[in-house]
A and B are shown apart, each in its own frame.
Chain A
Amino acid sequence: MKKLTLNRRRFIGTTAMAGAALASPAYLRRAAAQGSGEVNIWTYNDFVPESFKEQFEAETGIKVNIRLVDDQGKQFNLLAAEQPNPTVDIMTVAGHRFLQFIDSELLAPLDTDRLSNWGNINPTFSESDWATINGEKWGAPILSGMEVLAYNTELVSQEEAMTWDTLFSEKYSGQTAYIIQDMMSIVMLMMGYDGNMVAYMDDPAKAAAIVEEAKQFLIEKKPLVRKYYDSGAEVQQMFVNQDIALGHSWNGPAAALINDGFPLGMTIPNEGSYGFVYTYNVANNAPNVDNAYTFLDAILASPEIGAAMTKASGFISTYKDASNYLTDLEKKSTSFPEEQLANLQFFRAEANEMKYGLVDPAVEAVKAA
């Protein structure tokens, strides 16, 4: 009998296909009735599993056009420039950036009654406080991520990786990397402040002083860092090339490396860190609204699809029971011990206008220094 060998890629493909096939009857029949067309999606790399996309297109006749984004700000600007006639139907907005998009009338409220599979999302994400704004839902949570300290396990011990201080230590001078904007929030947290700045909404002077302190800290530590980076792919490449021994990272890119067998570990350090949730959102004035809802309902259809998204992106699925379809290694790379999770808090949006009004110039100052 021929031995059946499943490599990772094939396994992902198989599970996603199986998931999509299981989920297909309900949504596919509706979609077929609606006829063909297209749906335009702006999203991050690997957030739409390729096998799901292929099957969705084949069975609904709706062509899925994906434009990759790597930054929430760029996405905001693109959409703002295109309104009131955007080319996009579905975008991928982080939950803590909702307010900005909503205030600029870039998002349409999500009609969850049109999503028969809405209940497949873990209520921790779909019903949390940030998910409802002005009495409306604005996005379907798909993946959850967090800011972690990633480290090469052959060069850095887990004990060292339990504090952000190691990232700024002389011992690893020239072997670290981070995203400055994200580190500003983390440095504030390290210093014992509220990195969301919600606590200082009534005291802008104090907020400015805190941002200034964090900025000075990062300028002082600038000689120790190897690279300020922007995208997950960059930090993965630096780890693989052994250009860095440790760095701040989103858990997704780090988990993807772990799943590929790279000697990488990640922690939520004792000082704490921030989490965020990516959501699929329907753009205001979207040109293919019906197709957008067909796509959303399809991608929410089964935990297997959520697991496939986790396997491909490394971020944690928001779907109920998605972890049942992960291997032990994948489960390990997308989960954290309880005591570390206790240090995690989610990014919040309430003070964003004040926060980023202070943080953005500070980031430029750190880069320029």
Chain B
Amino acid sequence: MTYDASVRKDSDGLSRATGDRPFWGRLAGWGPYRAFAALVTASPRRQFVILATFPILWLLTQHLGPMLQMLRVSLVDAYPVAQDAPQAFTFDNYLRFFGDRIFWMPFFRTLTFAAVFTFCTLIITYPVAYFLARHVSRRNQMLMLLLLLIPFWVGEIVRTYAIMILLGNTGAVNLVLKWFGFIDRPIPFMYTSFSMGIGIVYLTALYMLLPLYSALEKLPKSYNEAAADLGAGAWTRFRRVTLPLTLEGISSGCTLVFLISTGFYATPVLLGGPSTTVFAETIAGFFHVAGDEWPTGAAFAVIMFVAALLITGVFQRLMKALRKGDTA
């Protein structure tokens, strides 16, 4: 109480009243701060509203805002427009997709690529996550994770160029194959669905690995030991114990990688070839074209967004049903 009284007596506020106490102690005793704290914590409801304000504002302005703006652009007949030029509401931009088959190919190609690359990423990263979670000592797991994270310290474009350096006609892979005498002429890896796939798997691997690692790391070893005691072989233990109990991680990882893969632009442009044009490139084309094609690009982006969400929604449902089936 002496403390409070001393603060109240000091009309000059923080500095003189609090002497050499630690900063937070001085702050806690500062009149305006105390008044603010009392206002904020007056009721749980008010506390919730104030705490939630910033995250909600962030979500609205940084996440939802641009998407709503894109939705708005997709529903007008021209954008950008000169000052004071009229804009009319229209669904034509969406109808253009459904009315012109040439856009279907890159659309379905993108979804197919995304599904295939997601599956490949799962197959490649599951053993890595398994090894990390089950066979690396606790002490070394963080170190291993850090090593896996190193490539992600640089941007997508730089890592894509690294793939180009590896797979080019004069790249490391061809040079090694040539040096060992396996080939006379370089294998044209680049600008194919193969090079694009390598790039996308490489770029998305971590998004699959971390949920898988998290799911595997939580799995008690005693479950497998019990299964082994009951006579289950290695494959049966994996199929009946490990896999079902990591379905949640698989579901999260696959959803993340699939959604990211549907939106990749730079990697297909740099690594893909004439027959790998993805929908993001088609959309980008509308934004590059000089004229009033932005609304069409925006509509196509909305279509892909909705389609990707629908597919992942169905996938999540399936995984949920699978998990229920296993636990029933």
> Which A residues are within 8 Å of any B CB, using their own CB?
71-77, 80-81, 83-84, 97, 100, 104-105, 174, 222, 225-228, 230, 237, 241-243, 356, 360-361, 363-365, 367-369
Contacts and interface: CB of A to CB of B under 8 A. Distances in A.
A367 B191 contact: no
Contact of A77 (B83, B171, B273, B294): B294
Which bracket fits the contact residues of B? 20 to 34
Given A365-B102, A367-B106, A367-B277, A83 B291 contact: no
Given A226-B188, A243-B190, A243-B191, A363 B285 contact: yes
Nearest to B294: A77
A241 B191 CA distance: 13
B107 to A, nearest CB: 9
Contacts, number: 87
A83 B269 CA distance: 30
A338 to B, nearest CB: 34
Residue in B106, B170, B273, B282 with the greatest tally of chain A CB atoms within 10 Å: B273
A353 to B, nearest CB: 9
A226 B191 CA distance: 7
10 contacts: A73-B288, A77-B289, A80-B80, A80-B82, A83-B83, A226-B273, A226-B274, A241-B171, A367-B281, A368-B103
A234 to B, nearest CB: 8
B103 to A, nearest CB: 7
A77 B73 CA distance: 14
A228 B275 CA distance: 10
B126 to A, nearest CB: 33
B269 A97 contact: no
A368 B102 contact: yes
B158 to A, nearest CB: 15
Interface string B160-191: 00001000111100000000000000101011
B119 interface: no
A236 B103 CA distance: 30
Contacts of B289: 73, 77, 356, 360
B80 A81 contact: yes
Interface string B19-44: 00000000000000000000000000
B288 A368 contact: no
